[in-house]
A and B are shown apart, each in its own frame.
Chain A
Amino acid sequence: MVFEGLADKLQGALQKLKSKGKLSEKDVKEAMREVKLALLEADVNFKVVKDFIDKVKDRAVGNEVLESLTPGQQVIKIVNEELTALMGTTQSKITFSSKPPTVIMLVGLQGAGKTTTGGKLGGYLKKSGKRPLLVAGDIYRPAAIKQLQVVGGQLDLPVFTLGDKVSPVHIAKAGVEHAVKHGNDLVIIDTAGRLHIDDHLMEELQNIKQEVKPHEILLVLDAMTGQDAVNVAEIFNEKLGIDGVILTKLDGDTRGGAALSVRAVTNKPIKFIGMGEKLNELEPFFPDRMASRILGMGDILSLIEKA
């Protein structure tokens, strides 16, 4: 990949600076160009990149260079710290209702991974003692209900469906009632993929929300999403008020800059990541790991840690 060697490039950009005094504006500016390009190549949103660079610049200029670090390492250290801060510094979990069932609704664009993730999440939380019910709220996509049933079957989780002739709002409501009756303390509602600009289908989600008052509305987002991730997240958040994000398909080799953008713009935490197609491949999200992934700078960080 083009920017694999970001750390090297930064070192190069700052190599000329031999004295261990303060970082000058010019030195930082040059280094920041490399960081900017790396972030853009990683699909971090353009506006987010600009803000981020300004922030790092402010911090870096005039910063005392630590004895043990080269100026390049110093800048990377600041970049990494700011990046991690932006991603959210702590791990963020699902909040369960004190009055079960806890209702989780999964929303997002077509093909993002909602149905698969619904199953994964159910399986994951079942392990911690929950009794999840999966609710088949996608009446549009061919075989969407069957897909959820197969997934539920593989995980030994019950799946609630009313077929595809009933409105998703009604299905959601009936699903929650079913859970109450059958002692399921967790309801995970799968919804059809939709475009954020599809007003009609966005309204459908609003109606589901109003009807069942989910405790968590999670946006399922494909980690490979490019510059548009921000629009998508912003509008889903605006229209629905999301509580967090699940980032899927991180088992690929994408840098996953969308994560950073979405977090920066909506200020909502990323709660889980999808690491494969198998139903146990869901993991809690760690902000610091994502930061290094975006810049591709694992090596330099361990270097800095040792220093």
Chain B
Amino acid sequence: TKTRQGIADKVDQVLKTYKKVDDELFEEIEEILITSDVGVNTTMKIIEKLRTEAKERKVTEASDLKGLLKEILVEILDYGDAHQLGIHPAPAILLIVGVNGVGKTTSIGKIAHRIKSQGKKVLLAAGDTFRAAAIDQLEIWGNRVGVDVIKHQEGADPAAVLFDAIQSAKARKIDVLICDTAGRLHNKKNLMNELGKVSKVLEREYGNATKDVLLVLDATTGQNAIQQAKTFKEVVDINGIILTKLDGTAKGGVVLAISSELNVPVKLIGVGEGVNDLQVFEPKSFVNALFGDDI
């Protein structure tokens, strides 16, 4: 895609300029990773590994380094089966969390559409009772994809909405219940506690359900994403990431940092505002797209 052509071109250019593997080449690669939001720490780790491996495998040609680098990146991102959305066996519940404006509600619409077309019975819970017209927004998505929405009034207790939604899901024998939550910055203690409460209701009322808690991250986010992931993980047990807005020019490199530091796999990626603009995350294609598809 057009998204990641930039970085691919850059790497190619660098590798062409430097025929031999030397310090300057490593520095250039370092730059490229940092300008993709991979972050200093993780970049250093990657470069260190690249150096060691290059030495061990006696890679001296600059062009061979690219394949090696891609291998290392894929290894960081690859969690095997853990990239699958956790909706088996039914009943399942997806709790969607994240900071403000990252794409939670939109992603829910897209996911609902995807699972529904796989023949599953889906129900949505309007757990964002705070933001202006958040409930209306989810309802429009519900209508769009033909899925019901359980809602309360604006200002209601989100835990109560979830409670009702769970009862309803049980009564209707719903396969997958997807719960929206209000955007909240991870450094807001009271809001994070509220999320903890929601999570408790889920455990208590739907303990037997398959559970996936997904953190939505905006691909344009810089290093703060790491802190977001850390803090959310402490409050609710995040087991996957949805990386949105990859249709822009941001590379979303920060997921490399998160994958390597926090052990959370990326599960889905958002590539637009339309109902079909959701893709399954594949480490190889992600990295391939990062570096051009030619190798």
Interfacial residues, chain A to chain B (CB-CB below 8 A): 1-2, 37, 40-43, 45-46, 109-113, 115-116, 140-144, 146-151, 154, 195-197, 222, 224-229, 231-232, 249, 251-255, 257-258, 277
Contact = CB atoms under 8 A, between A and B. Distances in A.
Contact of B220 (A143, A148, A226): A226
Interface in B222-254: 222-225, 227, 245, 247-251, 254
A226 B220 CA distance: 6
A140 B273 contact: yes
Contacts of A149: 133
A224 B221 contact: yes
A224 B249 contact: no
B34 A222 contact: no
B248 A41 contact: no
Contacts of B180: none
Given A41-B39, A222-B101, A226-B254, A196 B221 contact: no
Given A150-B133, A225-B221, A113 B101 contact: yes
A1 B40 contact: no
Contacts of A224: 99, 218, 221-222, 224-225
B100 A46 contact: no
A140 B224 CA distance: 29
Nearest to A258: B222
A40 B40 contact: yes
Contacts of B41: 2
A197 B134 CA distance: 27
Going nearest first, the 6 A-B pairs with the smallest beta carbon separation are: A226-B222, A111-B101, A43-B222, A150-B132, A142-B140, A147-B133
B223 A253 contact: no
Contacts of A154: 132
B36 A110 contact: no
Interface in B95-153: 99-103, 130-134, 136-137, 139-141, 144
Contacts of A113: 100-101
B100 A111 contact: yes
B186 interface: yes
B76 to A, nearest CB: 18
B135 to A, nearest CB: 8
Given A109-B248, A111-B102, A143-B137, A41 B223 contact: yes
B185 interface: yes
Judged by DSSP, the binding face of B is: loop
B187 A253 contact: yes
A253 B227 contact: yes
B175 interface: no
A43 B224 contact: yes
Nearest to A151: B132
Given A46-B31, A111-B218, A149-B133, 5 more contacts: A113-B101, A227-B37, A249-B185, A252-B99, A252-B224
Given A43-B222, A258-B222, A112 B250 contact: no
Contacts of B31: 46
A264 to B, nearest CB: 15
Nearest to A235: B249
B248 A257 contact: no
10 contacts: A37-B40, A146-B133, A146-B136, A195-B249, A222-B101, A224-B218, A226-B37, A226-B223, A228-B248, A253-B224
